[in-house]
Amino acid sequence: MDQARAGEFDAFVAARWSALLHLARLLTGGDRHRAEDLVQESLVKLWFVWPRIADEAPEAYVRTVLVRAAARSARRRWWGERPVEQVPEAPVAGDVSAAVAERSRLEVALARLPAKQRAAVVLRYYQDLSERQVAEVLGCPLGTARSHAARGVARLRELLADVIEPVG
């Protein structure tokens, strides 16, 4: 690859790294280390095809590679303990804003979805892709992508629903 193309690739990575990492975190259920690995793996694959697709749709390509890698990774994943950087502390009232708490709650709920449903929900509602684009990225028929998204949203509603006890 010539220097100009390599510079374009570097600029693309610098501009899109944080967005790709955030997408990967959502796809991996919040596991930052797995997300970084997936983004790096996807960018390596993009590097090899960069001369062909640099002028077309590199973000769509890397997003597709990322989603498929996350799905493969989820199938191999060990469901036991997961290491964390710090031991969680008990939350202090008034210490955390409602928005941060709600976002954390949503990420936990997303992590409990099956990989395909999680990918469909994230691509459809976070990345704001059309149903057809979601189907293309997931490599499945349009109806299947719709089904994954609908079932994922329904399950998220169940997981996020507050149980309200009737009074009286």
Same domain for 1 and 68?
yes
Number of structural domains in the chain: 2
Q: How many residues belong to the chain?
A: 168
Say which CATH number the domain at 104 has. Answer: 1.10.10.10
pLDDT at 90: 65
**Does any domain span residue 85?**
no
**Does any domain span residue 166?**
no
Contact in structure between 134 and 124 (CB atoms under 8 Å): yes
Give residue 1's Cα distance to chain centre.
30
Same domain for 12 and 58?
yes
Burial of 133 (0-12, 13-18, 19+ CB in 10 A): middle
- Give ∠ CA 112-103-35 in degrees, rounded to 5: 60
pLDDT digits (tens, 9 = 90+) for 134-147: 999 999 999 999 99
Same domain for 8 and 60?
yes
Supply the range of the domain harboring residue 46: 1-77
Helix axes 32-53, 58-76, angle to 10 degrees: 140
Between 51 and 81, whose confidence is greater? Answer: 51
pLDDT digits (tens, 9 = 90+) for 55-105: 888 999 999 999 888 888 766 555 555 667 777 776 555 555 777 778 888
- pLDDT band at residue 164 under the 50/70/90 scheme: very low
Average confidence score pLDDT of the chain: 84
Between 168 and 56, whose confidence is greater? Answer: 56
pLDDT digits (tens, 9 = 90+) for 111-126: 999 999 999 999 999 8
Same domain for 59 and 102?
no
**Does any domain span residue 71?**
yes
Report whether pLDDT(168) > 50: no
